[in-house]
Amino acid sequence: MNHRLLRYFVVAFISIVCGVTPLRASETCPDCGSVSGSIQVWKTKVKTKGAKSARDVLVYLEPVGGEPSPPGTTQVSMDQLGLVFLPHVLAVQKGTTVTFLNSDHVDHNVYFLFERTGETLDIGTWGYGISKTYQFNDPGPVITLCKLHLEMAAHILVLDNPFFTLTQIEEGPQKALYAIKNVPPGNYTLKTWHKKLKMKGLSVPITVQSRQETHQNIVITKTKYAK
């Protein structure tokens, strides 16, 4: 048996038995691995069409021990257009600055409800073509509202680290694929966020190995079926 064929069988054996797949080294993190899999909606169905649909699912990792990640330094934006926040769900690392735009020819307001603490914050009201910024330094879900148009709502999800991804459920199969890349080797807890559904089992322990892809499929469902 030649070396190339032998390597193929070794890779296949590792993938089947251990649930991991060897990866090519990343230029930014040569020893990092990744976590990927599918998300299946179970015993219910979610609306996936429209600007305020329930198609968005956040998948994220929480390290077990280890040093905390440095704050993010990126800048992203959320628009107000057609009396809708765009995007409807935004995931950022703590330390990220979000620019809130107003592309409607009416005044808009931005008002936060921090779910973890119950605190609220009104950052102001402004007109067409004007924007304001806010830096999110505390992790947790933030409901974003407009006091002038009560039908407007969005979700900003602030994470401690960059090990997350936001994916979208497909209408027909009620399924999505996800991948979290550039994850340092170590032990993690995998969790999800969805505005209506919960992850079955609520969380799962994950071990990320150097230059390996770890596979973990996820089921999300109504709260009564999740535990």
pLDDT tens, residue by residue, 41-67: 999 999 999 988 999 999 999 999 878
Domain 17-68+163-227 class in CATH: mainly beta
pTM of the full structure:
0.87
Instruction: Give the three-class secondary structure for 172.
Output: coil
What number is the average pLDDT over the span 109-120? 97
Distance, CA of 30 to CA of 175 (rounded, Å) = 31
Confidence at residue 14, expressed as pLDDT on a 0 to 100 scale: 40
Residue pair 195/177 in contact (Cβ under 8 Å)? The answer is no
Percent of the chain with pLDDT over 90: 81
Output phi, psi for 5, to 5 deg. Answer: -65, -40
Domain with CATH 2.60.40.1120 in the chain: 17-68+163-227
> Residue 3 is inside which H or E element, if any?
helix 3-18
DSSP 26: P
Q: Is the peptide bond prior to 184 cis by the omega test (within 30 degrees of 0)?
A: no
Domain with CATH 2.60.40.420 in the chain: 70-160
Contacting residues for 86 by C-beta, under 8 A, at least 6 apart:
51, 78, 79, 80
Mean pLDDT of 171-196: 97
Q: How far apart are alpha carbons 42 and 199 in whole angstroms?
A: 10
The C-alpha atoms of residue 180 and residue 36 are separated, in whole angstroms, by: 6
Span 70-160: which CATH code? Answer: 2.60.40.420
Count CB atoms within 10 A of the CB of residue 48: 17
Taking Cα atoms as reference points, which of 23, 36, 19 lies closest to residue 178? Answer: 36
